[in-house]
């Protein structure tokens, strides 16, 4: 197996990104949200992959993860890795690349949020030096109630 490559996303990546999102979302959320991501939503991702700061992770020419730096807010807006790829360093490499984009944009601290019942990703972020802020965003998504906890990390 080849090394993971992080690169800017393009329109041709929409279907692969949609697939990763659906698989990773089902793996992370199905225990507490049910099957909210039964099928990849390719049209939704066609527009999203064109956003500034959107990166994909590839291994052997296959998109295995994606992330997005929101340089206007200093947030890690998205970070998803295909379940079959997890544990191979892809998430760490992708997160590092997203944080580099935020540093380059002038941020010295980054923020992100994740659902409070999302134990695996929360542990991943905490191992990477993220600290919960105590803030919680409550919102509705796909007919489900979410409680998202905010995290912060210095970018020094």
For Cα atoms 92, 83, 74, give the angle at the middle one, nearest 5 degrees: 40
Banded model confidence at residue 147, pLDDT cuts 50, 70, 90: confident
> What are the CA-CA distances from residue 49 to residues 18, 44, 82, 155 (Å)?
10, 9, 17, 25
pLDDT digits (tens, 9 = 90+) for 19-55: 998 888 888 766 666 565 556 678 888 989 988 999 9
Neighbours of 25 (CB within 10 A): 18
Task: Give all domains of the chain, ordered by start, each with its CATH number.
Answer: 4-154 (3.40.630.30)
Tell me the per-residue pLDDT of 100-120, one tens digit each, with 9 for 90 and over: 999 999 999 999 999 898 888
Residue 1's nearest CA partner among 87, 83, 60 is 60
Which of 85, 84, 98, 83 lies closest to 128 in space, CA to CA? Answer: 98
Residue-level pLDDT at 135? 94
List Cβ neighbours of 152 (8 Å cut-off, separation of 6 or more).
109, 110, 111, 130, 131, 133
pTM for the whole structure: 0.90
């Amino acid at each position: 197996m080849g090394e993971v490559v992080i690169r800017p996303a393009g329109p041709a990546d929409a279907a692969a990104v949609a697939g990763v999102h659906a698989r990773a979302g089902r793996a992370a959320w199905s225990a507490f949200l049910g099957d909210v991501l039964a099928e990849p939503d390719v049209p939704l991702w066609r527009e999203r992959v064109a956003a500034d700061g959107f990166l994909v992770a590839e291994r052997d020419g296959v998109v295995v993860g994606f992330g997005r730096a929101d340089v206007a807010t200093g947030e890690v807006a998205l970070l998803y890795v295909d379940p079959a790829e997890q544990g191979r360093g892809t998430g760490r490499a992708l997160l590092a690349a997203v944080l580099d984009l935020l540093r380059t944009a002038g941020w010295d601290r980054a923020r992100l949020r994740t659902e409070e019942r999302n134990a695996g990703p929360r542990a991943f972020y905490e191992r990477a030096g993220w600290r919960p802020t105590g803030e919680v965003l409550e919102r509705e998504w796909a007919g489900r109630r979410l409680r998202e906890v905010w995290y912060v990390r210095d970018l020094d």
